Chains A and B, each alone.
Chain A
């Protein structure tokens, strides 16, 4: 616990973004590990073994988070043309809504950014995403999970996944742009 507590917490926190949830997952990991201690054969290092358990827990939490929200995911939300960002009426159907498209030259902050500040802003932006978008964004971008695996875990089709990632990127981009400006 002393040796791996912080390591596991760091592993969890970039993936679930909520510190309390991350700490709970670490606790569950230690308890599960303890229960299955006799099955640990020492073929991998303790750290690898604990990380594998934690990873399983994180995936379970993604799935729970996703399922609790997916009831409200309608057909409309699966449309490529996100109505929060693009005009829906002719003759400019599909064009950016004024002010919702990019307006700065670069998304990168001017000057050096403290690591902590970056972490804080990215976490804020993820927490502002609708929860199901946050789940796929974190799984794909933070955890670098293969797309097939995400679809399998969450029970969605690849085209659902691509649209959701697109919608998440639209919002993350906008959030980052606005954060640097303020």
Chain B
């Protein structure tokens, strides 16, 4: 009984590499009941992957913050002055050719 139970479990247990892959995957799409269960089982026993789970969500938060930043009222970046001049000159030249 115990042997069979261990065999049953070991077939379904996943290691950290699989678990962290699933953590990443479920950020992008649903991973299905079976995989979700396997992940939850792994997280119960692994403190590193629990941290990883949290960190991946926080990474997403930071990236959101990063992405939204320059869209705010004041542009965070300015086109460098010399590049602006270069573009202006290129536009002038192109318009003259036309």
The reply to whether A27 and B94 form a contact with Cβ atoms under 8 Å apart is: no
Which of B51, B54, B78, B79 gathers most chain A CB within 10 Å?
A: B79
The reply to whether B75 and A10 form a contact with Cβ atoms under 8 Å apart is: yes
**A-B pairs with lowest CB-CB distance, top 6:** A94-B15, A102-B51, A166-B24, A10-B70, A107-B58, A81-B17
Q: Can you name 21 A-B residue pairings with CB atoms under 8 Å? A: A9-B79, A13-B77, A19-B77, A34-B95, A34-B98, A95-B17, A102-B55, A107-B58, A115-B69, A116-B76, A118-B66, A119-B66, A140-B28, A142-B67, A162-B25, A162-B28, A165-B24, A166-B25, A169-B27, A170-B20, A170-B24
**In the complex, what's the smallest C-beta–C-beta distance from A142 to chain B, in angstroms?**
6
Chain A contacts for B84, CB-based, 8 A = 1, 5
- Interface footprint category on B: 35 or more
Chain B residues in contact with chain A, CB under 8 A?
14-18, 20-21, 24-25, 27-29, 48, 51-52, 54-56, 58-63, 65-67, 69-71, 75-80, 83-84, 86-88, 90-91, 94-95, 98
Residue A108 at the chain B interface, CB threshold 8 Å: yes
Main SS of chain B's interface residues? helix
With beta carbons under 8 angstroms apart, the residue of B56, B61, B69, B94 that contacts A35 is: B94
Query: How far, in angstroms, from A93 to B25 measured CA to CA in the complex?
Result: 21
Residue of B nearest to A115 (CB): B69
Query: How far, in angstroms, from A176 to B48 measured CA to CA in the complex?
Result: 16
Query: How far, in angstroms, from A88 to B69 measured CA to CA in the complex?
Result: 40
Query: How far, in angstroms, from A71 to B78 measured CA to CA in the complex?
Result: 36
Q: Assess A6 versus B79: contact at CB under 8 Å? Given A101-B48, A102-B55, A106-B58.
A: yes
- Interface footprint category on A: 35 or more
Residue of B nearest to A104 (CB): B51
Chain A residues in contact with chain B, CB under 8 A?
1, 5-7, 9-11, 13-14, 19, 23, 26-27, 30-31, 34-35, 80-82, 85-86, 93-96, 101-108, 115-116, 118-119, 122, 140-142, 144, 147, 162-163, 165-166, 169-170, 172-173, 176-177
